[in-house]
Structure 1
Amino acid sequence: MKPGTTVVTLLVLLVVLGLPASAALTAVTSGPGTIVKADTVTLSGTGAVNGSITLWILGQNYFATKTIAPDKKGNYTFIIKPEETTRFSAGEYAFLIQDPGSDRSFEIGPLLWNDGSMRITDRGKVIANIGAISSFPVDISPVAAIILNASVRPDVDDIFTPYYFYVEEPAVHFNRVNDAGNLPDQTTGESLLITGTTNVGPEDQLQVSVRNATSGDLITSQTIPVVEGSNSNQWTYSLEEPGLPAGIYNVTVGEQKYTTQGSASAQLTVREYLIAGNSTFIPQPELPAGMTPYGVLLPLLISGAALAIIGIIMLVSLRK
């Protein structure tokens, strides 16, 4: 048998038997296996040849389902928008993709009661009690296992494919800050450049605000993009010349559209740029190495005294 023949045969069997090829799922999140609150999450797959498919989302104090119809080729895409991921809690989340199987009918389904509890049903009959959604733990794997076990019951051909992600709070960090959280001092008239990192995805934006540290007055604000990085995503904030007036400022960067969490602040001091011609400051000549100001002044004083004595002698001579 030639290399690749087995793969083709398996794909043909998948189509003939009406089984999903969910291994082709592609997940677009902030990072591998990670979702950040306020992210847009995209789950795309192929091989959905049995009609509609359902996505179960389970996490701490959270449950939701979405059902979509794939295209004629069996391609499908679930999009979880920021309005939804903002309600996620930090911790493990299970994303279970349910294919109805060759009979093209879902047997396993959720049943939500008015008291907030959840049961699992097989063709409408309760077969498991998961409990209150509000008590779902941070480690969601045991809850997901109850649903996955239901799919192996006799006469059930629903197929569940689980994927697990960890949800994080948005986080923003500044580059080049000292232990006190201060940015390097700036001089008036200079352009301003501040950079940092974040776990927020590149499909989102960050809000930058610069406020007077004393009065709290807003000086300027700007929306900046998030740029995908190799290890962490990057952000850059810049102000062209003349930058900021002299003063002390608080610079805050964060995801503010969907959540007020995940912002960071740093203090920036801008000092006045002094021009010698417009100030009382007189530049001093640079002294040779090892010479003190007194070492220069003493010869000058001696020379001045000698000139004064010579002048007096000449004046007395002329009078005579």
Structure 2
Amino acid sequence: MTRRPKVAILFGGCSEEHHVSVKSAMEVAASIDTQKYAPIYIGITRSGVWKMCERPHPAWDDGTGRRAVISPDRETHGLLVGEPGESRAVSIDAVFPVLHGKSGEDGAVQGLLELCGIPYVGCDIQSSAICMDKSLAYVVARTGGIDTPAFSVLDGADMTVPNELVYPVFVKPARSGSSFGVTRVDRANELGAAISAAREYDGKVLIEQAIFGSEVGCAVLGKGSDLFVGEVDQITLLHGIFRIHQEAEPEQGSENAVVTVPADLPAEKREEIRATAKTIYMTLGCEGLARVDMFLQEGGRIVLNEVNTLPGFTSYSRYPA
């Protein structure tokens, strides 16, 4: 019998997107071909404790899981399972980090896996770090001729707001996801509260010129120029901003948005969006997979919104669609 490659699937984590990661891992567990692969599920608690579990589910941290961490020792090439001093080595062939947000998509876990010499799914350290920081992603994307919103950055305790702002703007954490900490600001006296809200998630704050138009995006899969680009989707907002991962019952659909796949656009425009997504993906150095989100303005201009290097895999996420 052919040996099945052992794949460690990481999920959970310390970020505000912990619950989204758990749901994504549940979908991965339901879809993985266990005739071909031997999955090992490693959940990471909100406080950062790594535990092996039977399968990902909302109550996975029930006290029965064994401690399991990835060893930085390349000879181990895998996990140390058990309590400190009593652990045993378990070799693995690859890692699928189904982690969203900080420490999952920002290059941190990718750096650990590079150190260990263990192959992993998804973008490398550099592209993960660039895409996680929206301001860096905008700067790099512009070198590839991609349009981005005008923006300013506030670091640390800086509250110096640029005078050239034209309202409305969006204030957001530079390094966060799922629309956590994002506020639309229509006038100057709203800025202080919006900046404080963003700083709950990141010390680096992005003030971004609002782009008027519809949100579009597509999945990209592959490496180098050999890429598969999925069909274009389009978000129609009824009010507010798209934040389905923060809604109480996202499985029932968004309460303020409708996602249409394929987008209700002429075929030529959909193809232009797909080509732009491919250019963005390659310019930012992505590999493996990512979801590229853009704005489409009424005049036809395509503007980068953000790139998710490990997009959600939930039943209501845009990437699987």
TM-score w.r.t. length of structure 1:
0.26
**Greater strand percent: which structure?**
1
Structure showing greater radius of gyration is 1
Q: Calculate the TM-score normalised by the size of structure 2.
A: 0.26
Using CA pairs under 8 Å that are at least 6 residues apart, name the structure with larger relative contact order, 1 or 2: 2
